[in-house]
Structure 1
């Protein structure tokens, strides 16, 4: 019997499939998991997975990508899955050929009549006995992935698929749900939201045991409760905190993550409760905060999570006395993190500190020069590149990526020479260096590569209020949330037209996009409408808490009077 777990990255399918496999073994069944602990049992398939993931292969076309995904799954089927089906009672797979279909059709836009025949030929008649679609809000899935990376930073580069942006995850989720609707007799929709992990594992194990006995399994074994409507903005904070409090018991790291950037006594209380068990996540969430409670919490957490505390010294928190005192305390123990905390600072104090720690953290010192032109910055970059072996070293991926961090937002001739040398080995990193640039060369590079890496390209438009920037934002229609992130707080007819057009597809990002406009009557009206239309959207709820924390104060007081 073949049982498949499908779902978007971060849905929880790997955790659930492994837990279910272990519980079935305890129940006395012989079970083979072909992706135990997240690694494919076939070395060939694992190699293909790493190839398709590598952003160096930015030029990979949608059809070539489909064939590689199909090859990965076919190799696993032939080498591991089919032999296992002859030997074990139950074979569990974390992903199947459905992954390739959903990515090709909904992710990349290939037509069904081109995709289906390829995958049917690969399957050679093999179909799962049951597919559990682990369904989750993409915002929650994204948070889980980011927490994993925060606690155990990956050794390699970011995923090539991630260059398509948040919209990719939403489209993939829709694709999976469409496949499930086509074959309800084969698929079970499992809503992984606000249900304790142990409870969910138990329900899924029971579903498999029913299959083993020949009973008909449920099409929706785990269903989330619908969210009631919001009657006023005064309810937003209470609804958000109630959801958060549930996670504090069942998934505290997720609760800690969603506290990031928020302020208020009720938020501080929950941070304090979680700080002891999850110091890294709490410290990370202090990024840019400058209130007294944030600095006190940094002092409490710096011994347990010094790297993440130093990493929170951004924006308004980067160049204040408390930040410099923190750097001084850690200068001899965490030079790399101290260097990274200097990102973009051009004061004499920052330059003196860079010089003191250069030989202990050279690449991090160089990375902190993002946005800095001028001879002083270029002397530092040239010294580092000479230490690496000269300009030829820009052809090495690791060196190229460090160099790209350093020249982000720099538009002089030397920066363009570095971009040209680095592009072959780190194209995604080169695209990110265009941050805020309005030169013809920058626009030509954006327009040439935006179709393959919209997230990376749109992320460089932040603050650009020129016709080419608006044309690029509008060219993606509703597909890319990142378009909203690039014009936060901007007024004008074009900004409001695009904001309104994207609002119901990306409600949370739209509220974040308002920035200070959230305090205007037009912004408040938009927030209220979105909350009424999307009461189930947790990311929207969180952004509404951030956006309306001042405008709803009197309303909250009136409600409690």
Structure 2
């Protein structure tokens, strides 16, 4: 019996499939999981997976990507899965050829006529007995991936697929749901939101055991619709109800979603979660300047030093409280202290950089972002010489540090470094032109925007020029990051684009308002979208920021 788990990145399919395999073994079945622990059982397939993830392969075309994904699954099928089906009662795989099909058709826009023959040639008639689709709001999946990285940072490159931006996951989810609707006798849709993991495990195990006995897959009962939210005040109340439920069932998610949220009601919930989720509560304090937030930073500094230091951004970066924390944590977390100096050009910052250089040189160099002074370049050249000279820019780790350090710089030296780093870290090179408006910066953006829209659009943050608007508008409704790049911008172009993209990306549209959400026009747009998208939690969270202070106090009093 072949059981497949599918779903977008961060949906929880790997965790669930591994737990199901364990429970089926306890039930006395011979089980083979071909991706147990998250690693493909075929070294060849695992090598192909690493190749397709590598952002250095930015130029990979949609057709070539399809062939590589199907090659990965074909190798795993012939080397591991088919032999296992002859020996075991249940074979479990985390992803099947559906992943390649959905990515090619819904993700990259290839036609079914191109994709289906390739997939059929590889499967040679083999179809799973059951496919469990872990269906989750992409905003929740993204949050779970992000909080996992906060808790257990992993060195290495970002995924090439991630360069396409958040829109890709939305399109992939639509593709999976379409395939599930076309074959309801084979697919089971599982909603991974508000349901404990162990409940899902037992549900799936029972369905597999029933399927082995020949039972027909039952259609699950529909879930009730959530209450309608019409105003930003109601959005804040509803958001807090979600947080309170998660505080009991999934506290790490509750803490993560409090990130950047201001007000007494949010502060009280952070305080309640601080002991259970210190790293995520510390992360949630990013840029907050109120007295309680500083008290929480001091309270959490020993338990979560890296996250506390990471919260020292924008208005909080160059304050007496921030410098006190840096001194307290300099010996324990030198790299995080150095990175917290980002953009600072004071004598105090330079003295601390010099002190930290030998223990955290890469972080010191990364903190020079935006600094195009003689002193900053002397420090960069010192570091590069220690790393092995300009040839070292051909090493990925060195190239990524260098690109971060020169972000926003348009000098000849900066462009020479970009040229050296391109072959090994093209995505980092693209991000390094953030804010630049020179002809070669625009040429680089326009040449590679189709392959790495997320990286390119991040370089447009705050740019209010005709060329920037033309590039944003060229995407249509494909990329959420279009809206992220226009935070707080006003004018006809900004409002026109928000109106055009609002129903495709409601949460990002409201987020793009920034301080405009406190104005009548912004609030009207947010409340129109709340009425149209009642199940969008990400929208609920963004709209909650628009509740006036008086409403926040009333909500706190009744919470």
TM superposition score normalised by structure 2: 0.98
- Larger displacement relative to structure 2 (346-355 or 463-472): 346-355
1:223-234 correspondence runs (5 A): 224-234=223-233
Q: Does 1:476 align with 2:475?
A: yes
Deviations 1:361-418 (A, max 9, x none): 1111000000111211111101111111111111111111110010011111110000
Deviation of 1:294 (Å): 0.7
Alignment RMSD: 1.5
Could you say what secondary structure the match of 1:339 adopts?
A: helix
Counterparts of 1:352 and 1:140, CA distance in 2? 42
Q: Check conservation: 1:519, 1:551, Cα contact below 8 A.
A: no
Deviations 1:250-292 (A, max 9, x none): 1111111101111222222221222112111111111111111
Aligned position for 1:178: 178
Aligned position for 2:39: 39
Aligned position for 1:160: 160
Could you say what secondary structure the match of 1:461 adopts?
A: coil
Could you say what secondary structure the match of 1:547 adopts?
A: coil
Could you say what secondary structure the match of 1:429 adopts?
A: helix
Counterparts of 2:533 and 2:202, CA distance in 1? 31
Aligned position for 2:17: 17
Aligned position for 2:203: 203
Deviation of 1:219 (Å): 4.0
Q: Does 1:114 align with 2:100?
A: no
Counterparts of 1:475 and 1:322, CA distance in 2? 44
1:524-543 correspondence runs (5 A): 524-543=523-542
Deviations 1:1-20 (A, max 9, x none): 10101000001111111111
Deviations 1:404-437 (A, max 9, x none): 0100111111100000010011000000001111
1:89-104 correspondence runs (5 A): 89-104=89-104
Deviations 1:431-490 (A, max 9, x none): 000111111010000000000000000000001111110011010101100000111111
Aligned position for 2:495: 496
1:332-343 correspondence runs (5 A): 332-343=331-342
Could you say what secondary structure the match of 1:487 adopts?
A: coil
Aligned position for 1:329: 328
Deviation of 1:550 (Å): 3.4
Deviations 1:165-202 (A, max 9, x none): 00000000001011111111111111111111111111
Structure 1 residues 191 and 414, CA gap change in structure 2 (3 angstroms): same
Q: Check conservation: 2:258, 2:270, Cα contact below 8 A.
A: yes
Counterparts of 1:140 and 1:236, CA distance in 2? 17
Counterparts of 1:19 and 1:271, CA distance in 2? 31
1:226-245 correspondence runs (5 A): 226-245=225-244
Counterparts of 1:397 and 1:361, CA distance in 2? 18
Unaligned ranges ≥5, structure 1: none
Q: Check conservation: 1:190, 1:220, Cα contact below 8 A.
A: no
Deviations 1:287-345 (A, max 9, x none): 11111111111111111111111111111110111000111111222211110000111
Q: Check conservation: 2:53, 2:161, Cα contact below 8 A.
A: yes
Counterparts of 1:60 and 1:177, CA distance in 2? 26
Counterparts of 1:234 and 1:431, CA distance in 2? 40
Q: Check conservation: 2:62, 2:110, Cα contact below 8 A.
A: yes
Q: Check conservation: 2:486, 2:512, Cα contact below 8 A.
A: yes
Unaligned ranges ≥5, structure 2: none
Query: How many residues of Structure 1 are paired with residues of Structure 2 in the alignment?
Result: 558
Q: Check conservation: 1:133, 1:187, Cα contact below 8 A.
A: yes
1:402-481 correspondence runs (5 A): 402-481=401-480
Could you say what secondary structure the match of 2:110 adopts?
A: coil
Deviation of 1:155 (Å): 2.4
Aligned position for 2:369: 370
Deviation of 1:555 (Å): 8.2
Q: Check conservation: 1:138, 1:170, Cα contact below 8 A.
A: yes
Q: Check conservation: 2:236, 2:547, Cα contact below 8 A.
A: no
Deviations 1:112-156 (A, max 9, x none): 101100010000110001111110000000011111111121222
Counterparts of 1:147 and 1:219, CA distance in 2? 33
Counterparts of 2:231 and 2:54, CA distance in 1? 46
TM superposition score normalised by structure 1: 0.97
Counterparts of 2:513 and 2:546, CA distance in 1? 8
- Larger displacement relative to structure 2 (1-10 or 511-520): 511-520
Counterparts of 1:196 and 1:237, CA distance in 2? 25
